[in-house]
């Protein structure tokens, strides 16, 4: 830091930056000339601290060159950015006004030049120049608003981070559930304990089994015992911390074991181990029956938290299932049946979809359906009505698995029937709705778009039955939603569906899709969204049908990341070739 007399400024630019500082610009020229001799120039290197948090000084700084950062350290090792200041800003004004220690740290981002005004001179300036005092209030008000907004944004970010961490742990619990597939009790207890310690970052622990006949807890697994041979440990019900938890069903979180009278230090004396913190909770079934206890020792970083207890509670429910052999076997059988059901559903769905897109002069098509892991219910079809007309449909049926696939097959057959009976798209969807109401149960429904492409007149007549509106993209025109039609199909009897006919100019593109695309989520559970899909289509409308489809699918995969698809993804592109 180099104090320099204010007799002369280094250059006119620096003087102008000072003269028109956010505070000093309120001074008259005469007032500013009186102030100049009271200012002292200071230079700081990049990274150098200008003001220390909680320090004292009293100077107010006017920044004329370089940038500075204002930060606060809410916790050790964690620094939070409050503001970035540029030439023309000022800082350090709070301590002279409030006569309190500095409230934040200020450091140079790059080489900086400031002019400092002492506390007494600053106070006299405030009394002498009311306009400057008013400007100071305005600056402080704006900064307070900015800090409020920053605090709200930071709080939202932290909340999102915590939710993400919790979801990650829940996935680990689900993974642990899938690992509990052994009928060997010793191996099962080892797996459960290793998973529990990994989730809460504990050092050692024990999983006990409750013997109701003998009214005691027992285990052959005790983390920390030396040697390969297992030692059976027995604890009377109600005795010690584990026995108390088994008897009462309470969760016990002890930050200092030696201050709890229920803790038995014999184990520590025998092994030389030092128990500090304990988290002990029951393992019970979903009916509330206690079948065991898990006791974890010494969290490696700090003490066990309420979040640790909540996560362990969720894990204990799965542990109870794994420890009941009969339910485990039944669960495995059920899993096999479900997988067989899903496999059959996929086979039905894929067999009903067109093997290839039609070849039509002046037009090109692209279509695909990607079933999700456990859902099958999307459909699309091309139906040749006559040499110049091609019926095109896309739908999404309710339900999952084989029932959804069978309903899809029924709807596809019904569409093919009414396509040759009805004279228009609206009449077709109206007739189809009547037949679905008559042939399906009330809880079954479908969303469907049915359209007829006239390749000679270059028109597309459609009717939308509660489906995601197709997108019509035209060169040089804004995107259009094709949403004329009616409500969900198969629910309300006697509903009439409207229709609309659009003319397709060379280069026009129609994109039909199911909700698996806009509702694709990432690890933060954020949707891809209709708006992003619309922007993507509009940006690629000059490309081929296949390229547009590939761009949509690529965007979905990129957005999902490692998150598995939650719904089928189906897309169909109609494009009139440019002249």
Mind listing the pLDDT tens digit for each residue in 497-518? 999 999 999 999 999 999 999 9
Contact between residue 68 and residue 107 where contact means Cβ atoms under 8 Å apart: yes
Q: Which of 50-64, 173-187, 188-202, 285-299 has the lowest mean pLDDT?
A: 173-187
How far apart CA 548 and CA 243 sit, in angstroms, is 65
The answer to whether residue 448 scores a pLDDT higher than 50 is yes
Residues paired with residue 422 on neighbouring β-strands, in sequence order: none
Parts of the chain belonging to CATH 2.60.120.10: 12-151
Distance from chain centroid for Cα 289: 35
What pLDDT shows up at residue 190? Answer: 80
Where is pLDDT greater, at 386 or 442?
386
What pLDDT shows up at residue 400? Answer: 66
Instruction: Collapse the DSSP code of 57 into the 3-class scheme (helix H, G, I; strand E, B; otherwise coil) and give the result.
Output: coil
The mean pLDDT of 211-230, rounded to a whole number, is 68
The answer to whether residue 82 scores a pLDDT higher than 90 is no
What pLDDT shows up at residue 226? Answer: 47
Sign of the C-alpha dihedral computed for residues 305, 276, 172 and 183 taken in this order: negative
- What percent of the chain shows pLDDT beyond 70? 89
The answer to whether residue 232 scores a pLDDT higher than 60 is yes
Reported as type and span, the H/E element at residue 62 is: strand 60-65
What pLDDT shows up at residue 455? Answer: 95
Contact between residue 367 and residue 565 where contact means Cβ atoms under 8 Å apart: no
Parts of the chain belonging to CATH 3.30.450.40: 180-323
How far apart CA 120 and CA 546 sit, in angstroms, is 74
Parts of the chain belonging to CATH 3.60.40.10: 352-576
How far apart CA 226 and CA 369 sit, in angstroms, is 57
- What percent of the chain shows pLDDT beyond 90? 40
Contact between residue 539 and residue 497 where contact means Cβ atoms under 8 Å apart: no
DSSP 259: G
Which numeric CATH code is attached to 352-576? 3.60.40.10
Contact between residue 345 and residue 374 where contact means Cβ atoms under 8 Å apart: no
Give me 285's structure tokens. Answer: 């079934």
CATH domain 12-151 topology: Jelly Rolls (2.60.120)
Quickly list H helices, 440-544.
530-540
Where is pLDDT greater, at 246 or 191?
246
The mean pLDDT of 356-369, rounded to a whole number, is 94
What pLDDT shows up at residue 6? Answer: 41
The mean pLDDT of 301-323, rounded to a whole number, is 80
What pLDDT shows up at residue 478? Answer: 94
Mind listing the pLDDT tens digit for each residue in 292-307? 898 999 998 888 988 8
The answer to whether residue 457 scores a pLDDT higher than 80 is yes
How far apart CA 333 and CA 416 sit, in angstroms, is 39
What pLDDT shows up at residue 496? Answer: 93
Which numeric CATH code is attached to 180-323? 3.30.450.40
The answer to whether residue 463 scores a pLDDT higher than 50 is yes
Distance from chain centroid for Cα 290: 35
Q: How many CA atoms lie within 13 A of 412 on its CB side?
A: 22
Mind listing the pLDDT tens digit for each residue in 131-145? 988 988 888 888 888
């Amino acid at each position: 830091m180099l104090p320099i007399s204010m007799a002369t400024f280094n250059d006119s630019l620096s003087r102008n930056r000072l003269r028109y500082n956010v505070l000093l610009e309120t001074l008259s020229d005469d007032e500013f000339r009186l102030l100049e001799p009271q200012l002292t120039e200071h230079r700081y290197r990049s990274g150098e601290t200008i003001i220390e948090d909680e320090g004292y000084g009293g100077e107010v700084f006017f920044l004329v060159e370089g940038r500075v950062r204002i930060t606060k350290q809410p916790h050790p090792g964690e620094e939070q950015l409050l503001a970035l200041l540029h030439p023309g800003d000022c800082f350090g004004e709070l301590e002279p006004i409030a006569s309190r220690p500095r409230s934040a740290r200020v450091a140079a981002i790059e080489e900086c030049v400031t002019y400092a005004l002492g506390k007494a001179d600053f106070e006299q300036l405030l009394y002498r120049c009311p306009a400057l005092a008013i400007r100071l209030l305005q600056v402080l008000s704006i900064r307070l608003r900015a800090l409020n907004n920053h605090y709200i944004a930071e709080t939202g970010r932290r909340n999102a981070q915590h939710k993400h961490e919790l979801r990650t742990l829940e996935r680990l619990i689900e993974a642990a559930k899938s690992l509990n597939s052994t009928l060997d009790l010793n191996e099962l207890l080892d797996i459960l304990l290793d998973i529990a310690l990994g989730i809460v970052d504990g050092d050692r622990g024990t999983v006990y089994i409750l013997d109701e006949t003998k009214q005691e807890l027992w285990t052959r697994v005790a983390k920390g015992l030396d040697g390969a041979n297992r030692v059976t440990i027995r604890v009377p019900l109600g005795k010690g911390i584990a026995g108390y938890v088994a008897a009462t069903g309470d969760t016990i979180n002890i930050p200092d074991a030696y201050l709890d009278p229920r803790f038995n230090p014999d184990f520590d004396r025998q092994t030389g181990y030092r128990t500090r913190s304990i988290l002990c909770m029951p393992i019970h079934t979903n009916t509330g029956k206690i079948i065991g206890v898990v006791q974890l020792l010494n969290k490696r970083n700090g003490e066990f938290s309420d979040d640790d207890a909540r996560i362990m509670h969720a894990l204990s429910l799965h542990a109870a299932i794994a420890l009941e052999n009969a339910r485990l076997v039944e669960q495995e059988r059920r899993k096999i049946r479900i997988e067989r059901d899903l496999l059959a559903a996929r086979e039905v769905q894929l067999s009903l979809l067109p093997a290839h897109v039609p070849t039509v002069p002046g037009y090109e098509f692209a279509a695909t359906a990607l079933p999700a892991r456990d859902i099958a219910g999307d459909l699309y079809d091309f139906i040749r009505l006559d040499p110049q007309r091609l019926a095109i449909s896309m739908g999404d049926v309710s339900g999952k698995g084989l029932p959804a696939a069978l309903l899809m097959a029924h709807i596809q057959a019904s569409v093919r029937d009414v396509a040759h009976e009805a004279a228009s798209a609206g009449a077709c969807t109206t007739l189809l709705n009547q037949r679905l109401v008559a042939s399906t149960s009330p809880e079954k429904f479908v969303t469907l778009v049915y359209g007829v492409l006239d390749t000679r007149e270059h028109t597309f007549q459609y009717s939308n039955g509660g489906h995601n509106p197709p997108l019509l993209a035209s060169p040089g025109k804004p995107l259009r939603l094709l949403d004329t039609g009616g409500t969900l199909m198969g629910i309300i009897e006697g509903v009439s569906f409207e229709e609309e006919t659009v003319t397709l100019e060379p280069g026009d593109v129609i994109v039909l899709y199911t909700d698996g695309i806009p509702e694709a989520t990432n690890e933060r559970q954020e949707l891809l969204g209709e708006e992003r899909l619309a922007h993507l289509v509009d940006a690629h409308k000059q490309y081929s049908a296949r390229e547009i489809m590939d761009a949509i699918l690529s965007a979905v995969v990129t957005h999902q990341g490692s998150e598995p698809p939650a719904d089928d993804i189906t897309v169909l592109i109609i494009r009139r070739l440019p002249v």
